[in-house]
Amino acid sequence: MLRVTLRGHGLPTATLGTGETLLFGRSPHHAVPEDDPDDALRVTALALPRCAPHVSRLLGELEIGEEIARLRWHGAGETQVSSLFDAPGGARRVTLVEGMSLLLDEGENALVVMRGRQTARDAFEDLSIIVDVATSSPAPAERARPEVDEDLDATATAPSPGLVPLTREWYVALALAEPWLTGTDDYPRPPSNREIYERVLGWHGYAWNLERAQRVDDAIRAISSLAFSAKDDPFRAGAGRAQNVRFAVGRRTAEVRLVTADDLDTVERAAAKRNLPPVTP
C-alpha cells in the first residue's frame, strides 16, 4: 500500500492512497470523468493557486497503485523532476514533456515548473511541487474504549491521529523520543540531526534522504503538528531556542504515544536480526 502526499510552499496539501488518482494544474476539474461515478469518486482534482496564465489547466496526473506511483505529464511546458533514491548515483534529475510518464521514487520527488507561478503583473517565478511517496500499513482495528465522563475528564489531551508505521516520520519520531521511551529522560540534550539519521539508518537499513539536515527538520515539524494542538505547537508559536523546542517535541511524542516502547523494541529486534551473520551449512 502507498501513501502519496502533494505539497509545497503556498500550495494546498493533498494526501491519497492506493487506487486513487490526483489531477493537478491551473484548473484541472474539467478532466475529472463524469460518465462513470465510480471513477469520479477515485479521482481528486487540485487547482494550484497563483498559477501563471500560460500554465496548462491540467499539468499532471498522479496515479497511485499498490506498489508504484506514476506521474503522467499533460502540461504544454516541460517540468524538471528530481528525487533521491537508494542508488550509488545519489540524486537523479529528469525532464518531462507533454505525454511522458515517470515512476516516482519512494521519498521526496521535487517538480519544478519554470516560471509557473505569478508573483505580480508580468512577474513570474518557478512553481515548486513536492510529491512524497511512502509505504503504509493498514490501520489496526480500533479497540473498544471505556466510556469517559466528559465533565470529569474535560482537561484530558485529545487523542492523536497518529503516525503511519514504518514511514520516514515514524522512524524519526522513534529516534527523537527514544530517551523517554527507554526511561533515560535525563538525557542532557535532544538528539542531533546526524544522530537521528544514524539511528534510522541502523534500524531500517535505508534512511530516505535524512542525511540532509533540512529533511530531518521537516520531519520533526510534521511530528510536532501531530503531537501538539495547533494552538500549542511550539513551531507555530516560535517559542524558545531550537534545542528547547526539539526537547519538547521529543517528550510530547512519547507522552501522547505517537510511538511506543514496543515500537522501539520491534525495530531493534528487526535490526539485530538483519545484521546476523549468514548461517554456514
**pLDDT per position as a tens digit, 156-207:** 333 344 677 888 889 999 999 998 888 765 555 788 999 999 999 999 888 8
State which of 129-133, 182-186, 241-245 shows the largest mean pLDDT. Answer: 129-133
The cell numbers describing 117, all together, are 507561478
Is 2-135 a CATH 2.60.200.20 domain?
yes
pLDDT > 80? residue 262: yes
pLDDT band (50, 70, 90) for residue 58? very high
**CATH 2.60.200.20 in the chain, residue ranges:** 2-135
Q: What is the pTM of this model?
A: 0.48
pLDDT, greater one: 84 or 166: 166
Q: Which helix (H) or strand (E) holds 237?
A: helix 234-237
* 3-state SS, residue 127: strand
- Mean of the per-residue pLDDT values for the chain? 79
% of residues, the chain, pLDDT over 90: 25
How confident is the model at residue 57, as a pLDDT?
A: 93
In our burial notation (b when 16+ CB lie closer than 10 A, e otherwise), range 47-60 reads ebeebbeebbbbbb
Beta-carbon contacts of residue 265 (< 8 Å; ≥ 6 apart): none
